[in-house]
Structure 1
Amino acid sequence: MGSRYTAYRVKHELEKKAGLLKKRHPANPQPRFFISLREWRTQESVFLVSERETLDPAARETNPALKEKAQRIINGETLFFSAEWKSLGKEYDWLTNPTTGHRYDGKVHWSEVADISQEAGDIKYVWERSRFSWLLTLIRDDYHNGTDHAEYVFTQVDDWIARNPVNQGPNWRCSQESSLRIMNWCYALHYYKNSEFLTEERWARIQNVIYWTLHHVYHHIDFSRIAVRNNHAVTETMSLALSCILFPFIPETKKWSERGKKWFEEEVDYQIYDDGTFLQFSMNYHRVMIQLFSFGLALSEIDGERFSDKVYSKAYKSLDFLYQCLQEENGWLPNYGSNDGAWFFPLSDTDYRDYRPQLNTLSQILTGKPIYTESALTEDAFWMVHHLPQKAEYMAPLLKKSGTLSYPTGGFYLLRTPDHFTMIRCGNHKDRPAQADNLHIDVWVKGQNILRDSGTYQYNTSPELLDYFMGSASHNTVMVDGKSQMLKGSRFIWYFWTQAKAAQWKETPSHYVFEGEVSAFAYLNPKASHFRRVLISKTSPIWTVEDQLKELPEYSKKQLWHTADKNAVKFSAFEKDIMITPAYERSYVSDYYGQMEEAEAVSFTFREKIITKIELNTQ
């Protein structure tokens, strides 16, 4: 991780032990108030949407499914990780993990709250409702179905403030969660701006929490920018960059915004590689970046400001990369990389795995043109670009590309034909890898994921499941003596990072040919490497995969294949022209965070070199 990371972590732990974090982030600080509700209501404010009375009614569509979701929320349910409804009850305390029953102490300083605890379980189950993304479902229901949830919304905000005193408890532990909370509160504040349920007393309490949230983010920003350096840093620096637009009545936002903008632009430039791929090597977290770009770029343009050209360039390249990976039949992408169910601004009724609404919104901001026109896929844009001014110049509209595509900086190699899509990962790691998945292959046929990635499941679960979902066992690659291609450390840490040695597409009259080699299993032999050649027929749905492990002659090797439907494909594998008998072993699949199903993987054991033909079963 480098000397900068190590030095900061040592400093952070010393500050924590010495009590300096508590001093910098005081519990029960003096309340801060800046502007009365009456004054705020009469000021000209800048946001993505305006108060409900002024919103264009033309886009309203009666939506029974949306009404049902809103009612479930009112009845005490929460949609966890965009996939699973859980009943928390109408008197939920914001501190109890619904999966373990563990209740965090809401009076303990956030720096003393453990985010990894076997007894407490996954802290994300506590953070999920406190993110307040569910507010957007209620607001959308109000708009489309003519209801009024303002009383419930502000009662819940009030209750959260009462049970989560400033800088205390688990919900102040993560600066990203805090940043997202006030962004979602902004939707409620602007949409319900004139509601009788937004009272002077509530407004005072809300602006106090907003102030101390931004104070917390600003004074702890190095943790995200140095120790974490991923989507957390982008979210937090963006919240600071936009703070002067969102909360101009707070004097400190002038400084916070100026520095936040500089940091945000630095993070975007660093984290989005020049080919549009993303340092987290995760499709879902890359979509998180898309939503952050949409929120930030739209709001700054409405205010008459712009981020740097570099931010726009990186946003466009990000958009294009994900668009090339998207399956038009359903909007899904490979379930590749860490996937925690994050959907910061759920502004459509589409399935969580459908990326089309979010890509469509950023396309409209950058190119002036939507990718899609169906109302189900354009509503996200309605809530993001409602007030966006027209620009004199836009970037070029996106075009879906066929044939081979290479993204060498991030290490993604794509092939799209009229009938199928293949993604191969062969990359270097100058930034921390989350999963041991180099040379993984994902195959889709007409929107169906034929050869799949097993997903993520949970970040805080048993060591066995963590090893499976983060390791090579859950991917379509090769293991040595049952071990992953990198050595697992604690939590998100891997040692002996794999690195691409070579990767390229070739083309013959009959095949598309990928060849790639990575240094792997270096903890077994520093000279070890994995070479993979993939031949994809131009005339038949057949993939021929050759794997060779070098400098590891004394070890047994296993080639793994995870299929969505074991009857959809046929495998035949050979070593030195001798057919290898397949083995069938238990695997798991997690399409959504926190959910897991048992499945079956096909494996072939070999010594040095294996050639496997994978044929789509068309019968």
Structure 2
Amino acid sequence: MWFLERLKLVKALGVTNVLRVASYRARLRLGIHPVQKVTTETPAGPFFPSLASERAEEGAGSSLPPPEFLALGWIPVAIDGAPPDWFRYLSSGGQFEPRDMPWWAIPDFNPGGGDIKEVWELSRMDWVPLAVARALDGDAEAAPTLERWLADWVEKNPPSVGPNWKCGQEASIRVLHLAMASLLRPGSPPCGSGLASLLRLHLGRIAPVTGYARGQDNNHATSEAAALFVGGSWLERCGHSEGSRWERQGRALLDRLVPRLVEVDGSFSQHSVTYHRLMLDTLSITEVWRRRLELRPFSDAFQSRASAASAWLRAMVVPGAEGDFPNLGANDGANLLAGLAPRYRDLRPSVELATRLFLNGTAFPQEGGPAEALGISAPARPLGEPESSIFEHGGYAVLREKGAMAVLRFPRARFRPGQSDALHVDLWAAGENLLRDGGSYSYAAEPALQDRFAGPEGHCTAQFDGRDPMPRIGPFLRKDWLDTAFVQWEAGNEGKKRVRADVRDRSGALHQREVELQPGELTVRDSLSGFRERALLRWRLRPGPWEFSGPLSVSDGKHTLRVETTHGLRRIEFRTGLESRYYLQMNELPVLEVELSEPGEIVTRYRWR
């Protein structure tokens, strides 16, 4: 049985992908991987030597951004003082250990040590474009601060040594932030020897490991391909011949990966709004770079899928919520545009940039936003408000009605799932999240705590017999992938907005869910069958003074949720749940649990004023 389960999982992941990952790990353990043989000189500054002379005239600082950026979207980090500690855990202040050994000798997870993402965050260099923007806006201290921080980072992170070299995607994000900073300046990118050396160091780390990234089928591969294309063409433009090889490698990967990982309907292989944003921002920065250097376009397939991905992300922007979005899937603080658009839970800057680039339109024109800062003018073609839409390839139905928005997440089994969120419903009205997803909190948390966010407990869906239908078998891997057996969609401009989907798990339990959105009301009909002892339905509510207003109804004084069921009701009661809207943040929220002891139907009506 164990062997058959693993064989099924290998087939789902893809034999080629599994072999890529296995080969990478085996060669690292044996010490024979090419990345372990890379030798590169340690860069020396200055890195942006002409920046100080490019400052705006005195008094031209009206658009000056704040002197800090928000790590993980919420932790303030000042950029006007001494360099930070590159090995400090942001939440606890503790120190990462070990830091003085080759990156391949450092464990992926350090039990008792903390979350390595906290250490990586400052080394992503979001602060580089922010510092350049401040310098160009007239801040006399920004350029010296930037040089000081870059020099300190290079000194404290020697080539191939320490945790900040452990991930190829992290190195790629640094390259993209350096490129983004150079794009803020008019004309050609800078070509100083210090910057060229820094780019070679990073591309030498990335290029040998793209096979491993491709084996993940996620945004690691798109980030690394983009960094190779951008960094390679940068070096070539500056007269370094080795850059052309990296540029060709990056271009070929992007033209191959984007049509594979982005579905025809724009859905991404990672079922996550924030990971989709990271992928799309990566493509946007790459396209801005390509245009600036007047390089030939990417393939038609690349352009088509980038356009579809832009429309997908636009569909996830909640009306009246200042760019906020459903907390679907993994949410680990990633935001490539953080140095230029610091509000983490605001999709509008990313959507606007991508819309201008790939849809030849404008969705959320913002004066001084990243699109303007990067020199991408707004086409005279406003797209208007998104309508209700279904993304059948990725598994999302978005219902919109008079300022309200509901999203049904139905599983598709083409790519590995990150969370057990089958048939989760997210509800928003008047810009507020009424029925909520759990988020991620921390990838380094204890498995039992992670399951409170990523398992069935973290979603507005049904759970059968107390089990996870897609059990976790690794930090980022689940088995028994679910697929949707039936989908029905009805959402014309007039009349009802309704979707239905059916999912059966490996044990035979069947969840049939119909979601209907009308003005002021969401109705969800759940048919639950095929279980042995119990079926549990959870409604994760907005924080507030919720209490029972009747035997089967609850209210917080403004909103009401009423449950109807014909038979089999075992209990209905409140429990305390958890949510994480920002990585490493955890908040409590009320959860209404409705449990059946025999197959039956539950009709839930949520009304708001």
Indicate the TM-score class for this superposition, using the shorter chain for normalisation. 0.7 to 0.9
Partner Cα separation in structure 1 for residue 511 and residue 261 of structure 2: 27
Pairing of 1:370-519 with structure 2 (within 5 A): 370-375=362-367, 378-385=368-375, 398-402=383-387, 404-506=388-490, 511-519=496-504
Could you tell me whether the CA contact under 8 Å between 1:546 and 1:609 is conserved in 2? no
**Residues of 2 paired with 1:407 and 1:266: CA distance?**
22
CA distance in structure 1 between the aligned counterparts of 2:273 and 2:134, rounded to whole angstroms: 29
From 300, 309, 314, the equivalent of 2:300 is 309
What's 2:337 paired with?
345
Matches of 1:556 and 1:578 in 2, distance apart? 9
Cα contact 1:433–1:497 (8 A) shared by 2: yes
The match for 1:7 among 5, 19, 22 is: 19
Partner of 2:62: 62
Which SS does the other structure have where 1:270 is aligned?
Answer: helix
- Superposition map of 1:78-477 within 5 A: 79-85=70-76, 90=82, 92-100=84-92, 101-144=94-137, 146-188=139-181, 204-226=193-215, 228-248=216-236, 249-304=239-294, 305-329=296-320, 330-349=322-341, 351-375=343-367, 378-385=368-375, 398-402=383-387, 404-477=388-461
- Taking the aligned partners of 1:181 and 1:507, their CA distance within structure 2 comes to 43
- The separation in 1 between residues aligned to 2:70 and 2:360, in whole angstroms, is 33
Contact 2:349 2:369 in 1 (8 A): yes
Q: Equivalent residue of 2:474, what SS?
A: coil
Partners of 1:340 and 1:593 within 8 A in 2:
yes
Separation in structure 2 between the aligned mates of residue 441 and residue 36 of structure 1, nearest angstrom: 52
AA at the equivalent of 1:131: R
Contact (CA 8 Å) 1:247, 1:253: kept in 2 or not? yes
Alpha-carbon distance in structure 2 between the residues aligned to 1:189 and 1:136: 8
Shift of the 91–58 alpha-carbon distance from structure 1 to 2, 3 Å rule, reads closer
Q: Which amino acid aligns with 2:599?
A: E
Cα offset, 1:400, TM superposition? 2.6
CA contact (8 A) 1:569 1:614 kept: no
Work out whether residues 367 and 396 of structure 1, in 8 Å CA contact, stay in contact via their aligned partners in 2.
Answer: no
- Superposed displacement of residue 190, structure 1: 7.1
Distance verdict in 2 for CA 1:96–1:506, change over 3 Å:
closer
Residue matched to 2:607: 616
Looking at structure 1, the residues matched to 123 and 365 of structure 2 have their Cα atoms a distance apart, in angstroms, of 33
Contact 2:45 2:147 in 1 (8 A): no
What is aligned with 1:44? none
Distance 1:236 1:507 in 2: 39
- 3-state SS, counterpart of residue 37 of structure 2: coil
Distance 1:206 1:302, change over 3 A: closer
Structure 2 counterpart SS, 1:489 = strand
Deviation of 1:593 (Å):
0.8
- Does structure 1 conserve the Cα–Cα contact (< 8 Å) formed by 2:46 and 2:147? no
User: Which segment drifts farther, 105-114 or 592-601?
Assistant: 105-114
* Percent of aligned pairs sharing the same letter: 23
The equivalent of 2:29 in structure 1 is: 17
Partners of 1:557 and 1:159 in 2: CA distance: 56
Change (3 A) 1:506 1:252: same
Q: TM-score, normalised by structure 2?
A: 0.86
Q: Which amino acid aligns with 2:208?
A: H
Q: Which residue of 1 aligns with 2:576?
A: 586
Q: Secondary structure at the match of 1:25?
A: helix
**Matched AA of 1:62:** S
Cα distance, 1:579–1:422 mapped onto 2, change above 3 Å: same
Contact 2:42 2:159 (8 Å CA) reproduced: no
Find 1:551's aligned residue among 510, 530, 535.
530
Q: Tell me: CA distance 1:397–1:191, structure 2 relative to 1, closer, same or farther (3 Å).
A: closer
Q: CA offsets, 1:525-573, max 9 Å, x none?
A: 2x33321122334xx5222222223322x22111001111442532222
- Cα distance in 2 for partners of 1:502, 1:193 equals 53
Query: How much does 1:57 deviate?
Result: 7.8
1:46 alignment partner in structure 2: none
| Alpha-carbon distance in structure 2 between the residues aligned to 1:192 and 1:366 | 22
Q: Distance in 2 between matches of 1:271 and 1:209?
A: 30
Q: Which amino acid aligns with 2:573?
A: A
- 1:505 is displaced (CA, Å) by 1.6
- Paired residue for 2:41, among 18, 31, 34? 31
Counterpart of 2:589 in structure 1 is 599
Residue aligning to 2:565: 575
Can you give the 5+ residue segments of structure 1 that lack an aligned partner in the other structure?
A: 42-49
- Answer whether contact 2:133 2:181 (CA < 8 A) is retained: no
**Residue 381 of structure 1: CA displacement?**
0.8
Task: State the SS of the aligned residue for 2:107.
Answer: coil
Are the counterparts in 2 of residues 505 and 514 from structure 1 also a CA contact under 8 Å?
yes
Q: CA deviation at 1:125?
A: 0.8
1:414-472 deviation line (CA, Å, top 9, x unaligned):
11112311111113121110000010111111211111112111111122211111111
Change (3 A) 1:301 1:167: same
Residue deviations 1:380-425, cap 9 Å, x none?
1122235x7x9xxx897534343x4211100111111123111111
Amino acid in structure 2 at the alignment position of 1:215 = G
Contact 2:51/2:143 (<8 A) preserved:
no
Mapped partners of 2:593, 2:523: distance in 1? 15
Distance 1:515-1:209 versus aligned 2 partners, 3 A rule: same
8 Å contact kept, 2:51–2:132? no
CA offset digits 1:325-381 (Å, max 9, x no partner): 212321111111111111112254552111111111122223444323342xx4211
Counterparts of 1:422 and 1:94, CA distance in 2: 41
- The amino acid of 2:524's aligned partner reads V
Give the match's secondary structure for 1:296. helix
In structure 2, runs of 5+ residues without a counterpart are 1-12, 547-555
* SS class of match (1:20): coil
CA RMSD of aligned residues (A): 3.2
CA distance in 2, matches of 1:258, 1:352: 33
Q: How big is the shift at 1:187?
A: 4.7
Report the counterpart of residue 47 of structure 1 in structure 2. none
- CA 1:411–1:395 in 2, change beyond 3 Å: closer, same or farther? farther
**Cα contact 1:272–1:279 (8 A) shared by 2:** yes
- Structure 1 residues 447, 237: closer, same or farther in 2, change over 3 A? same
What TM-score do the two structures reach when normalised by structure 1?
Answer: 0.85
